[in-house]
Amino acid sequence: MAVETTKDYQTFFDPMVYLLNCFDQPQKDAFVLRRLTDFWIQIAKDGRKFTNMLEYGTGPVVSRLINAAKHVQSIIAAEYLPANRQAMEDWINQDPKAFNWRPTFEYVVQKLEGMTPDEVEKREAEVREKIKAVVHCDVKAENHLEIPSEISAKYGPPFDIVMTCFCIEAAVESEKEYRNQIAYLAGLLRPGGYLVMHGVVKERFYKVGDKLFYSFPLMKEWILESMKDAGLKNINFDLFSSNFSREEFSSVYPIEDLKSGLKDHYSVYGQLC
């Protein structure tokens, strides 16, 4: 029987339900957080500093930027949904109704980076300071990214780092459309810059609250070929198999039905040479 999914984020997507379901415990996002920590260690091991970064399709999620704030001077967060942009702004402005990211900051800064507890609050302040704008983006629009001219003149494009997590597959409807989007993101990089992506292969939908949201089922081969065709080299691809029992699966991931098509989380980055 076909599963009924929606693409109507404006009506049905609730940022707080999503955050409480997927990010209430840092361990739920451990694969991505660990891979991001490893990524920054790897590319900054020679002491290299980076000027600017774009996260494309950031959602209401702050955690992807925790490591980044150590290494870049400025960050632009781009997101399609107004409610998600507002959730980001609420956290930046320390609004009392904002989602509490402190446990995730503690997990990344103390456990993964090995820093002392007093560094946690400093990192929160650093992330807030380095996010220079929260702007609109739309995979489906002719203008994929709307950065005001006064912002782009200071903070890019081009970028040293472009990151996208669990975004593109929620919007595209064909392999061709996916490849075009990867080429677009790579085109936002300056030479030597990195495209960083995280997501799930073979996933046809994901659950937020009582709604099932559409996802285009990516294949590993498409991801790698798209990056190579976009001019990216030195590609590093990591796959995490979700081999859990039904009970374990449901306790860790927001999708409760094993027949959803969720197979593997992936982490990949490549350099524009």
Which pLDDT tens digit goes with each residue over 128-142?
A: 999 999 999 999 998
Least confident of 107-111, 174-178, 251-255: 251-255
CB count within 10 Å of CB 73 equals 14
Averaged pLDDT for residues 39-54: 94
What pLDDT does 6 receive? Answer: 82
Percent of the chain at pLDDT exceeding 90: 78
Residue 87 has pLDDT above 90, yes or no: yes
| Angstrom distances, CA of residue 60 to CA of 50, 91, 197 | 24, 9, 17
> H-type helices in the chain, by residue range?
9-12, 15-22, 30-43, 82-92, 102-106, 118-130, 149-155, 175-186, 220-229, 246-252
Which positions ≥6 away from 157 have C-beta within 8 Å?
54, 145, 147, 188
What pLDDT does 123 receive? Answer: 99
Given the structure tokens 């956290």, which residue do they identify?
91
Residue 258 has pLDDT above 60, yes or no: no
Residue 206 has pLDDT above 90, yes or no: no
